[in-house]
């Protein structure tokens, strides 16, 4: 009888769906605040990632938008984003970068979205 009960419990738990971790995002800058590194994790249940990064400089506010479709094998992704502009191989970096705010919308394969907001002073 104990064997049948143990077998029944084993079958029940092995057939139960395993809940995937929620998609997540984080950001960090390099020491000089010339680049920001955006990390997106737990993407296996995500079909699309869209993000907006807004930050202040000494003179005004700047923003960056991005996004992409994920593959079914995507687990995580990292983007290195310049905090400035580049043209003809020369870059001009923003000065006084502060108050970075990252807003991410993860579109789920099963439907619906998850929104994540992260910030750095």
Q: What is the CATH number of the domain that holds 96?
A: 2.60.40.2150
- Structural domain of 79: 21-120
Q: What is the pLDDT of residue 21?
A: 87
Please answer whether residues 82 and 91 qualify as being in contact, where contact means their C-beta atoms are separated by less than 8 angstroms: yes
**50 in a structural domain:** yes
**54 in a structural domain:** yes
**Sequence-separated (6 or more) residues with CB below 8 Å from residue 51:** 25, 38, 65, 66, 67, 102, 103, 104, 105
Q: How many domains does the chain have?
A: 1
**115 in a structural domain:** yes
**13 in a structural domain:** no
Distance CA 25, CA 33 (A): 19
Q: What is the pLDDT of residue 1?
A: 55
Q: Say whether pLDDT at 5 is over 90.
A: no
Q: What is the pLDDT of residues 16-53, one digit of tens each?
A: 344 568 999 999 999 999 999 999 999 999 999 999 99
**5 in a structural domain:** no
Distance CA 94, CA 33 (A): 9
72 pLDDT tier (thresholds 50, 70, 90): confident
- Mean pLDDT estimate for the chain: 88
**16 in a structural domain:** no
């Amino acid at each position: 009888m104990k064997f049948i009960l143990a077998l029944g419990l084993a079958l029940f738990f092995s057939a139960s769906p395993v809940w995937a971790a929620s998609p997540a995002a984080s950001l960090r800058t390099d020491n000089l605040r010339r680049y920001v590194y955006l990390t997106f994790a737990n993407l296996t249940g995500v079909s699309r990632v869209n993000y907006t990064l807004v930050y202040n400089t000494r003179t005004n506010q700047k923003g960056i938008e991005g996004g992409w479709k994920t593959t079914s094998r995507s687990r995580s992704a990292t983007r290195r984003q310049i905090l400035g502009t580049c043209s003809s191989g020369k870059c001009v970096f923003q000065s006084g970068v502060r108050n970075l705010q990252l807003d991410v919308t993860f579109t789920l394969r099963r439907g619906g979205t998850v929104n994540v907001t992260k910030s750095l002073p």
